[in-house]
Structure 1
Amino acid sequence: MANSRYCLPMVFFNLGGEMLYVLDQRLKAQNILPDKASKVLCDIVSQMTEEKCLEEIFNPQLLPGKAAIRSLFDRLAHASIMRLNTSSMDKLYDLMTMALKYQVMLSKAPEDLMLVTLNHLDTIRDMVNSSEPLVASINDIHRRLRGFYKDKTNGEFMYIRHTLLYFFQDMRKRVSILLRDKAQLSDGHFVMPVGGPVSCGADVPGTIRYMENGIVTKTSTFLPALPFTTGDDAGSLELFGDRVTNLGTNLYSVRRELDTSVESFANTSAFPPPDIGGDPSAVEEFNLLAHLVRSSKPPSADTFKLNLFNDDDEVTISSTSTSSHVVHIDAKKSDAHLQSLIKDFSNVNTDQQKDDILDLLDQASS
C-alpha cells in the first residue's frame, strides 16, 4: 500500500520530540549545568533539521523496520556532547515509543496525527528559542509538513495511522508516570477512555437516518450506552494556533487528568498488514539517512557521560510481565567477559563507524 510511504516524517519528528522531552527532564533532574543541557538539546535539534537529513525524511518511502529506526535514534541521541550508556539508551527509546504509541491510540480521528506532530514541533521550538537559526528551521519543517500531507484524504490518514499502530505492535513497556495516572495496566496495556467528546465534525451517537436516493426520509433516536458530547472545533494547522489537543505536548512538565473509567481497544483487523521495510529503494534511502544522522566526535573536554535513569522517579520504566511485581536488574553485576566487550565497543571512534543499516533491516525481518 502506497500510503504507508508517508509515515516516516511523523515517526521521526514525534519520536524526536519525545526524546527531547525526556532528555530535558532528566538533564534538569540531574542538575546538569544549564549551558551544557542547552547545548545537548540544540545539537540534537540541529541534526534533526539538517537539510540533507530533511530531504531524506520527506522523501516518500516505506517505513523502515524497528531495528533501523532504533539505530537512527541511537545516532541522533549521541549527536551532541552527551554520551549515554546502553541501559539509559534502552530506557530512553522505550519511553519515546510508548509515549507516541499512546498518543496514536488516543487520537480520535486519523487526521489528528497532524496536530500531535505540530504539538511536538511547537514544544521543540520553545526549547531552542534562544537560537534564531533553529527556530527558523522548525518553522520551515512546519511548512514542509503542511505541504507533504495537504492532499491526504481521511482514508489515507486512516491507513497512515494503521501503519503506525502496526509498527508499535508488541512494543509494551510499563511506564511509571502512565501507571500512576491509571492510563496503563500492570501488563503494559493502555487504558483507553470511551465516551466524551466525539471527533470534530462527527455527530453525537443517538440518531438513525434512513435514506432514499440521497434524501433523508425518516429519522429515529436511541439512547447510547455511553455519554457522548459534541466535539471540539478543528485544531489549527497554522504556524501558531490552538491545536485543541494536548496529545504531543510534554508529558513530564504538564500533568493531566486522564479519564480511565472504561477500557476499550480498537480493532484494526479490517486492514491488511502494511508494507514496512520491504522496498529495496527505501532500504538504500534509509541507509543514506542513517549516515547523515551520525555522531560527530566533539572536543573531549566538553564531552560528558550521563546515566539518565539512576534513580527511581516518574520516568523509570519496567519490563512487562504477567506479574505486577517489578524486577530490577543491576547491569553492573554482569560478568567480566561482557564488561570487556562493552569496553571494547566504547573505545571505537564514532567517526570511523560505518553501521550497515541494510544488515539491521535484515536482522529485523528475520
Structure 2
Amino acid sequence: MSLRTLPLLFINLGGEMLYILDQRLRAQNIPPDKAKKVMNDIITTMFNKKFMEELFKPQELYSKKALRTVFDRLAHASIMRLNQASMDKLYDLMTMAFKYQVLLCPRPKDILLVTFNHMDAIKDFIRDSPSILNQVDETFRQLIDMYNCLPAGEFQLIRQTLLIFFQDMHIRVSIFLKDKVQNSNGRFVLPTSGPVPWGTEVPGLIRIFSFKGEEVKRVEFQNGGNYASPLREGSYDLFGDRVLKLGTNMYSVSRSVETHMSGTLKSSAAHTKVT
C-alpha cells in the first residue's frame, strides 16, 4: 500500500461533496449570499493549513469510519445542517463517484489529473474570495510538489490502495444506473474500448526485433475493440488543460440528477429549509 494516498482520497471526495452541495443549493433556490457562505466556510475548513500539513505526511489511509467522521464534520462546518439520512446519501454519492473515476483512469498517473479537475472546480467556487483562493492554491502547489515527480510504479501503488479502500462499496446510484454504467448489484460496467492511455499505441501491431535490437518484421492483428489514440497529455501544472474529463462536475450539466437531501441553513435570523 502507498503511504501517499490519503491527500488524493480526501481532496477528491471533498470535491465531489462540494459538487453535490452546490447542486442542491442551486436547485432549492437558496439565497446566493447564504449559498456562498456555505461553500466558502466548507472550503476554508477543508483546506485549513494545519490540517493540510498533517494530511500530506506519509501515512496509511484513515479507516472508513474515521474518514466518514471527517466528512460529517466538514459538511457541517457552515450554517448548513444535514440529517443522518441526507448525510448518508451525500457520502454514498461522493464515494461511488470517485470510485468510478479511479476505475476509469486510463493509467494510474491520471488519478492526479482527476484531482486537478476537482481542484480547478473548487477554485472556481471561491474565485471571488482571494484569501480562500490563496489557501487552495497553496494546497495545489503541495500536490504538484509531492506527486509530479513520482514514478509510474508509485502511482500504481496509489491506485491499488484506493481500489482496496473502495472494493467493498457497491452502493447503487441513480445517475449511474440511468446511464447503464452500473448494474443492479452496484458493480460498475467498464468500457473495453475508447482512447488508450497516453504514451501507448492502439493495439493491433506486433513488432519483431533481432538480437541486435533491429526491427525485422511487423505483424498486424485484429484487436477486437474500438480504440483511439489519445489527443494529448493533460497538464500537470497549476493552470492548464487537463484533457481528461474525469473529476469534473457531472451535476453542472442540464440533466435530472437525484441528489435530494434534507437539511437546514441556520443563522441567527432565520432557518432556511433545504430539501
Q: Same fold (TM over 0.5)?
A: yes
Question: Deviations 1:296-317 (Å, cap 9, x if unpaired)?
Answer: xx9851685755xx5xxxxxxx
Q: Matched residues in 1 for 2:184 and 2:154: separation?
A: 34
2:268 equivalent to 1:301 = yes
Q: Matched residues in 2 for 1:51 and 1:97: separation?
A: 24
How far residue 150 of structure 1 moved from its aligned partner, in angstroms, is 2.4
Question: Deviations 1:322-341 (Å, cap 9, x if unpaired)?
Answer: xxxxxxxxxxxxxxxxxxxx
- Asked if 1 retains the 8 angstrom alpha-carbon contact of 2:100 and 2:188, the reply is yes
Secondary structure of residue in 2 paired with 1:245: coil
- Asked if 2 retains the 8 angstrom alpha-carbon contact of 1:199 and 1:232, the reply is no
Secondary structure of residue in 2 paired with 1:104: helix
Q: Matched residues in 1 for 2:266 and 2:83: separation?
A: 19
From the superposition, tell whether residues 72 and 303 of structure 1 become closer, same or farther in structure 2 (CA, over 3 Å).
Answer: farther
Question: Deviations 1:99-125 (Å, cap 9, x if unpaired)?
Answer: 000000010010000100000000011
Choose which of 60, 65, 68 in structure 1 pairs with 2:66.
68
Secondary structure of residue in 2 paired with 1:69: helix
The corresponding residue for 1:51 is: 49
Q: Matched residues in 1 for 2:223 and 2:4: separation?
A: 36
Amino acid in the other structure paired with 1:183: V
> Where do 5+ consecutive residues of structure 2 fail to align?
256-264
From the superposition, tell whether residues 167 and 302 of structure 1 become closer, same or farther in structure 2 (CA, over 3 Å).
Answer: farther
Amino acid in the other structure paired with 2:85: S
Secondary structure of residue in 2 paired with 1:123: helix
The corresponding residue for 1:77 is: 75
- Report percent identity of matched pairs: 53
The corresponding residue for 1:94 is: 92
How far residue 138 of structure 1 moved from its aligned partner, in angstroms, is 1.8
The corresponding residue for 1:7 is: 5
Amino acid in the other structure paired with 1:72: V
Question: Deviations 1:22-58 (Å, cap 9, x if unpaired)?
Answer: 0011111122211111101100000111110110111
- Asked if 2 retains the 8 angstrom alpha-carbon contact of 1:81 and 1:304, the reply is no
The corresponding residue for 1:249 is: 248
Q: Matched residues in 2 for 1:150 and 1:213: separation?
A: 35
How far residue 246 of structure 1 moved from its aligned partner, in angstroms, is 1.0
Secondary structure of residue in 1 paired with 2:59: coil
Choose which of 104, 107, 110 in structure 2 pairs with 1:106.
104
> Where do 5+ consecutive residues of structure 1 fail to align?
257-297, 311-366
- Asked if 2 retains the 8 angstrom alpha-carbon contact of 1:120 and 1:249, the reply is yes
Secondary structure of residue in 2 paired with 1:6: coil
Q: Matched residues in 1 for 2:269 and 2:125: separation?
A: 21
The corresponding residue for 2:238 is: 239
After TM superposition, the structure 1 = structure 2 runs for residues 199-278 of structure 1, keeping only pairs within 5 Å, are: 199-211=197-209, 212=211, 214-254=213-253
Amino acid in the other structure paired with 1:86: Q
Secondary structure of residue in 1 paired with 2:244: coil
How far residue 216 of structure 1 moved from its aligned partner, in angstroms, is 3.1
- Asked if 1 retains the 8 angstrom alpha-carbon contact of 2:81 and 2:266, the reply is no
How far residue 160 of structure 1 moved from its aligned partner, in angstroms, is 0.4
Secondary structure of residue in 2 paired with 1:22: helix
Secondary structure of residue in 1 paired with 2:180: coil
Amino acid in the other structure paired with 2:268: A
Secondary structure of residue in 2 paired with 1:225: coil
2:35 equivalent to 1:25 = no
Q: Matched residues in 1 for 2:78 and 2:165: separation?
A: 28
Question: Deviations 1:221-258 (Å, cap 9, x if unpaired)?
Answer: 111111212112100112221100110011111369xx
Q: Matched residues in 2 for 1:107 and 1:95: separation?
A: 19
From the superposition, tell whether residues 174 and 255 of structure 1 become closer, same or farther in structure 2 (CA, over 3 Å).
Answer: farther
Amino acid in the other structure paired with 1:210: I
Q: Matched residues in 1 for 2:212 and 2:114: separation?
A: 39
Q: Matched residues in 1 for 2:267 and 2:125: separation?
A: 25
Corresponding residue pairs, total = 265
- Asked if 2 retains the 8 angstrom alpha-carbon contact of 1:83 and 1:303, the reply is no
Q: Matched residues in 2 for 1:119 and 1:90: separation?
A: 25
The corresponding residue for 1:281 is: none
Q: Matched residues in 1 for 2:269 and 2:243: separation?
A: 41
- Asked if 2 retains the 8 angstrom alpha-carbon contact of 1:84 and 1:305, the reply is no
After superposing the two structures, state which structure 1 stretch, 65-74 or 202-211, moved more: 202-211
The corresponding residue for 1:261 is: none
With structure 1 as the length reference, what TM-score do the two structures score?
Answer: 0.69
